[in-house]
Amino acid sequence: MLLWTLIEVEKIAVEENWLSYIIGQIHDDMIHDYEEKELDHIIETINYVGTEKIKEMFPWISVPLKIEHEISGIDGNWAEMKGV
């Protein structure tokens, strides 16, 4: 499900010409480098694709889905991640 969500979000990012970009996937995380002014839109897009649109593609999903977001500051690292 994560890989499908990543691919769909990337399609939207290209269509909307985001300055932010997805770096990749590590275990159960989607890693991206973001422009601060795009952060709210990125989170909304990921939430929509990964919790709503995904059910159109995979109608057998019958449980509510939730996505957690964590970010670090500019030039931050994983030890400095904070929930959004």
Domain boundaries, the chain: 2-83
Spatial distance between the Cα atoms of 67 and 27, rounded to a whole number of angstroms: 14
Q: What is the pTM assigned to this prediction?
A: 0.87
Spatial distance between the Cα atoms of 30 and 47, rounded to a whole number of angstroms: 12
Over range 49-70, report the average pLDDT: 94
What pLDDT shows up at residue 46?
Answer: 95
Tell me which DSSP letter residue 36 carries: G
Q: What are phi and psi of 61, to 5 degrees?
A: -70, 115
Exposed, middle or buried, 49 (CB in 10 Å: 0-12/13-18/19+)?
A: buried
For the stretch 12-30, pLDDT in tens is 999 999 999 888 888 888 8
